[in-house]
Amino acid sequence: MSDWLERLRAGDRATLARAITAVENETPEARAVLKAIFPHLGKALVVGITGPPGAGKSTLINAYIETLRARGQTVGVVAVDPSSPITGGAILGDRIRMGGHSGDPGVFVRSLASRGHLGGLSRTAAHVIDVMDASGRDVVIVETVGAGQSEVEVAEIAPTKVVVAAPGLGDDIQAIKAGILEIADIFVVNKADLPLADRTAGQLLDMLRLKDHGEWRIPVLKTVALKNEGIEALADAIAQHAKLAETSRPAPRARAAKLIAAQAADLARRSIQALEEKVIDDYCDQVLSGALELEEAAQRALAKAIARS
């Protein structure tokens, strides 16, 4: 085992930061990092926290981190921020809001730029989570961008998903219930000291009665993150669901299959984008004229891209 991997597994922060930078930026070293850490994955509790903007996700996570640290657990946070339209980098709002933990060696916060990736995460978020897992973090928290219904990608990488809502969600439940509300293992109505909190909790409970949830009974919790109210109950619920998820969590082979499929899709996309504009225009003209079906055009473009790679 190389020295850097020993340092990473020992929790060295500088080594962890460099490894995350490598996989996030997909540098030449990234492949070696991912290959080396794969045998050491699967020990961290990975919890995804999502919800619409303004629900108080970052403040809630901040309070949750305090509870975990009081319980003696180390924490990694992957906070996916919207990309700057100018630089393409992360705006880093979550790092600013969680700045109170910057001096705690048991907490490591990393902001990632979404870089236009849909689904609420960034394209390399799963690999960053793996690096934190391999570094020995007890809990890895994944906070999504906060864009709304599209943020279901977190369900693919976090066995436990917490959906945060704000009081007065009201009719918006109907608008987004086919998205992020459908992936929840735990619901949280944050800012529960505000009016309409009970009404929102009741609406969520009514929605839950309409579907079968199997062995796990999805709770609807109320918190006031700024006052640290309800956070202990949330931490307990996450831990309870994580224990249950351990028995039904996809096997490492299934997770690897998902990663292979995602990587293959990304390679195909980049290969097709690398084709000459004239080639793509020709396929576009054939689709628009009806000479080619869309699927056939895609197959031909992919075949040409593979032949040239």
Q: What is the pLDDT of residues 124-159, one digit of tens each?
A: 788 899 999 999 999 999 987 654 434 445 556 788
- What pLDDT band is residue 120 in, cutting at 50, 70 and 90? very low
291 to each of 215, 281, 284, how far by Cα in Å? 52, 14, 10
Q: Which residues pair with 217 in a beta bridge?
A: none
CA nearest to 197, candidates 226, 163, 168: 168
By CB atoms closer than 10 A (0-12, 13-18, 19+), residue 142 is buried
Residue whose structure tokens are 């608008």: 175
- What pLDDT band is residue 247 in, cutting at 50, 70 and 90? confident
Q: Does domain 37-249 have CATH number 3.40.50.300?
A: yes
Q: What is the dihedral of CA 222, 224, 227, 231, to 10 degrees?
A: 40
Task: Output the average pLDDT for the chain.
Answer: 81
- Cα gap 128→111, rounded to integer Å: 10
- Cα gap 80→281, rounded to integer Å: 35
Residue whose structure tokens are 């000479």: 291
Residue whose structure tokens are 């869309």: 294
Among 39-43, 94-98, 247-251, 305-309, the range scoring the smallest mean pLDDT is 94-98
Do 158 and 192 touch, CB atoms closer than 8 A?
Answer: no
What's the pTM?
Answer: 0.79
More confident residue, 2 or 209: 209
Residue 55: φ, ψ to 5°: -80, -15
Q: Which residues pair with 221 in a beta bridge?
A: 188
Residue 160: φ, ψ to 5°: -120, 120
More confident residue, 98 or 183: 183
- What is the pLDDT at residue 271? 87
Radius of gyration of the chain (CA): 21
- Cα gap 224→199, rounded to integer Å: 16
- Cα gap 16→5, rounded to integer Å: 9
First to last CA, the chain: 33
- What is the pLDDT at residue 258? 66
- Cα gap 273→35, rounded to integer Å: 27
Task: Write out the residue limits of the CATH 3.40.50.300 domain(s) in the chain.
Answer: 37-249
The strand ranges marked E within 144-300 are 160-165, 186-189, 220-222
For the segment 261-278, the average pLDDT, to the nearest whole number, is 83
Do 131 and 25 touch, CB atoms closer than 8 A?
Answer: no
Query: What's the CA angle centered on 180, arms 245 and 203, to 5 degrees?
Result: 100
- What pLDDT band is residue 82 in, cutting at 50, 70 and 90? low
213 — alpha (psi -120 to 50), left (phi > 0) or beta? alpha
